[in-house]
Structure 1
Amino acid sequence: MGCHHKLEQYLDEYIAAAGIGDDKKNPLFRAAVGRTKKLSERPMSRQDAWYMVRRRARQAGIETAIGNHSFRAIGLTDYLDNGGDITIAQRMAGHEDISTTRLYDRRNDDIDFSEIERVGI
């Protein structure tokens, strides 16, 4: 599957900054060497990726629990918000069953304040 032109740009910038453009054997996303700000040749683990996302979210002032799958849901929801088709979203996500894709669809999560005001207290 192709990638968005902005993602392609970000990846190119990451590869250049990491100095790994000529290294075709080792993984794209690599584990850091301690706190040296250098990359090893080992792949970044899923847990390390999750920790990195949480750390960056905190640094950005996001207090909501966020993880790697949050981006999947945000991406699919944004695609659908912009007129995307749920069956194409299913293919993009690699889901066999469309009900799985619907789990990632957050378009109906926002509740209008007027609806909340209908509660008779």
Structure 2
Amino acid sequence: MVARDDAGVSSIELVVYVPLLLLLLFMGVQVGQVMLGNQAALAAAREAARVARAGGDLTAAEDRGRAYAASIGTGVLRGADVEVLALDGGLTVRATVTGDAYALVPSLGGRITQVAEGPVEVFRGDT
């Protein structure tokens, strides 16, 4: 039996494994960016719903949701669109925030949609 020479095996392993490790690294960062975008969209939806619940002005709530989404961070949630609707005859509001997550590779970003809903606050004086 003849012993074989192991010269060059490390180079071949490096060529095979480094691209796989880089792919896993980029996938991990991309998943993190999508999760961060989801949290940013949810925070903007909650803020818009809070303003609509407290004051009842849907236009002001949409403006506040857009401003909040823009102030969260550059590139976290791009192209945020905020829509606030009154439901159940004005007793409930629903805020929907839609935007794009930051993507390392442009085709991997994905569309994000988050919804926050709650009852409109009504003051009832003592009787």
Which one has a larger percent strand, Structure 1 or Structure 2? 2
Q: Looking at CA atoms only, which structure, 1 or 2, has the larger radius of gyration? A: 2
Q: What TM-score results when the alignment is normalised by the length of structure 2?
A: 0.27
Tell me which of the two structures has the higher relative contact order, counting C-alpha pairs closer than 8 angstroms and 6 or more residues apart.
2
